[in-house]
Structure 1
């Protein structure tokens, strides 16, 4: 590969935006069904709960770590909140408790990694098992159903999807709008604030960051708390759309989120990241998942193609880092 092509492919965010456009155009040319409004509604509904997890775990990956627990933490938090809801807790408090559970798991991961020095892979693998088991214990292995229709507490679903015709059409994915707003906020935090600069600095050179007087443990822990909070938010979004939370689920959610982060240009080595790229990465996977059935291809081919895209994304990251160090 010549130097010009290397420079083009090293600009990973430009590549993923172009890839998203090409994929959408390709599906549109193959089948007119893809251009229907319901298609884009389905894409939005399928993308935003994964996007919430991806936004949070972007901060962890920027530190050079990983969080394998976000998928099971999302469902565990929803199960605990749902169990309390069935016990009579008002929905506003249910949402607060759900977010608190996610934040506590994030704090646990952060302390294990930053204070006790555990590898993030091992710490979050343990948290993944703990959260999966805890969700089953608290719910007593029962499926938890959340309010629908005119039931008390069903209003929370409107935060993520319009359930009745009104100012906005029914099934309008308001959660996608919420996701965009939060993505902008977290993008500003990552790239324009002291918190983000310190988190990126940890990923670039942890020891140099410590020697410069920055409280590395504090900001590394904060990155995991972000991941836990957004995982819990993803759990709320999930039950708002699918109305139920089942024990022993959530495994695999984290892989979609992490793949979206890496495809979007955040380096697994840490030190660089983009919330915008993360959202584009998640959208690429979601468009493939929604688009394949329209052309008669089974959706599990998404995994095959996503794997190829993920490998290519990591290779582009390697090129980019070599170019910067040249």
Structure 2
């Protein structure tokens, strides 16, 4: 932050500040701090004059220190940097400094993406993202930016292994499961049958470790649907869990999905076991979602009526 107000700084005496215009009778005027109001008055002036200079970058940095979510200020900073042909690696250093305290600020992430795209090199990005995710492994902006970086710079190769490590640490990390799906199916190289089979085995192992983790169950189902594999291929695995006396609402839910898919594909009645499982889930195992399981029960019953009619 500057040590004095801009209106008191002789280096800015050539600029006439432009106050914020709230109209003649503002209903609820915002009580800005005098430092922020002063800096913004000068920001309006330089943007109106289209000034792009080093002192404007300093002004913008002061405003960002006070309000790091100001989109217009970040946007103008990019324009100034590009107009001055500034060292963009130094700009990444600047973002590195503020990112730890602004890890959930969308504007910071967007600004970094614009700068990195302009630099046309991503060698710093995965280590940077890793540092953020080490502090918060479910940071949405970090994961979204990682997807862009990997696609932009073709960095697919080691990303599955990266999620392996995260899931060892926390098998319930839904963000890591989502990202794993992105890496597997957005990679320009379509996964082979062998790779898909290996992924299914990996997921089943994670389910055995935490059978009440919704993320791994959803991922297992998604793997089969994305690769057009019938869900009944999962039944042998489910039987293993049943034989081990595993109790999980997701186990029953998967059985229900399998029985429903079988009925639709074979144009037959739904296995009565699926109806019983809906009742167990609604009344005991997942009572918090009682309405959902009653809805599923009604849907299966309607499917049976339709099948009988045909």
Do both share a fold (TM > 0.5)?
no
What TM-score comes out, normalization by structure 2 length? 0.20
Higher relative contact order (CA 8 A, sep 6+): 1
What TM-score comes out, normalization by structure 1 length? 0.19
Q: Which structure is larger by alpha-carbon Rg, 1 or 2?
A: 2
